Amino acid sequence: MAKIELTYQEALAEIELILSKMQESERDIDQLEKDVKRASELIAFCKEKLKTTEDKLNKILEEESE
């Protein structure tokens, strides 16, 4: 998977845009496939960003308690 160069907020906004497009009643099946693939990549990016942030915060809190 290619590295996505954007912020968490940008990725979330793009996911929301994709979701709103998917709710349209007449979607092109080929575009739907591309949108689902992109949404999947963005979700993976967001999960990794959240995990990384959690790890960094835990490290900071551990250092503070020492």
Sign for the pseudo-dihedral over CA of 14, 19, 21, 27: positive
Rounded Cα–Cα distance for residues 23 and 21 (Å) = 5
Measured CA to CA in angstroms, residue 41 lies from 14, 15, 16, 57, 64 at distances of: 11, 10, 13, 24, 35
Output the pTM of the full model. Answer: 0.81
* pLDDT reported for residue 26: 77
Residues in the chain where the model's pLDDT stays below 70: 1-4
Parse the chain into domains and list their residue ranges.
8-65
The predicted structure's pLDDT at residue 8: 96
Rg for the chain (alpha carbons), in Å?
16
Total Cβ atoms within 10 A of residue 11: 19
